[in-house]
Structure 1
Amino acid sequence: MTMLARIVVTGFEPWGPNAENPTLEILDLLKAADDVEGDLTLLRLPVDSSKIAGITAKTLDEVEPDLWISLGLATGLAVVAVERIAANIMDFAIPDNAGYHHRGDAVFADGPAAHMATLPVELIVSHLRESGIPAKISNSASTYLCNQMMYTVLHLIAKKGMKTRAGFIHVPAHPRLAALQQYPLAEMPSMSVELMAEAVKKVIHLSLGGENGESGLPSIAL
Structure 2
Amino acid sequence: MILLTGFEPFDGETTNPSWLAARRAAEQLVAAGSPAVAVEIPCVFDLSRTVLQEALERYRPGIVLCVGQAGGRERISLERVAINVDDARIPDNAGNRPVDRPIVEGGPAAYFSTLPIKACRGAVASSGVPVEVSQTAGTYVCNHLFYGLMSLLAEREDGCRGGFVHVPYSTEQARGNDAPGLALEQMADALVLIATTTSGTTVDHRVAAGAEH
Taking structure 1 as the reference length, the TM-score comes to: 0.86
1:22-60 residue CA offsets vs partner (Å, 9 max, x unmatched): 112213423443544521121111111121222222222
Match status 1:198 vs 2:193: no
Match of 2:120 among 101, 124, 127: 124
1:84 corresponds to which of 80, 83, 86 = 80
Deviations along 1:111-156, whole A, 9 cap, x unmatched?
A: 1000000000011111211221110000100000110111101101
Partner of residue 141 from structure 1, selected from 137, 144, 147: 137
Identity %: 28
The alignment status of 1:18 with 2:13, answered yes or no, reads yes
Task: Measure, in 1, the Cα distance between the counterparts of 2:129 and 2:26.
Answer: 21
Q: Could you state the TM-score of these two structures normalised by the residue count of structure 2? A: 0.90
Structure 1 partner of 2:207: none
In structure 2, what residue type is equivalent to 1:149? L
Could you tell me how far apart the structure 2 residues matched to 1:79 and 1:160 are? 32
Q: 2:47 maps to what in 1? A: 51
SS at match of 1:103: coil
Question: Cα RMSD (Å) of the superposition?
Answer: 1.6
Partner of 2:100, secondary structure, is strand
CA distance in 2, matches of 1:72, 1:53: 14
2:91 aligned with 1:100, yes or no? Answer: no
SS in 2 for 1:112: coil
Cα separation, 2, equivalents of 1:36 and 1:91: 40
Give the gaps of 5 or more residues in structure 1: 1-5, 216-222
Displaced runs of 4 or more, over 3 A? 34-37
How many residues are aligned here?
203
- Find the aligned partners of 1:60 and 1:31 in 2 and give their Cα distance: 16
Is the counterpart of residue 61 in structure 1 residue 57 in structure 2? yes
SS at the partner of 2:182?
coil
Q: Equivalent of 2:3, from 5, 8, 14? A: 8
Q: Which runs of 5+ in 2 are unaligned?
A: 204-213
Residue 4 of structure 2 contacts residue 37 of structure 2 at CA under 8 Å; is this kept in 1? yes
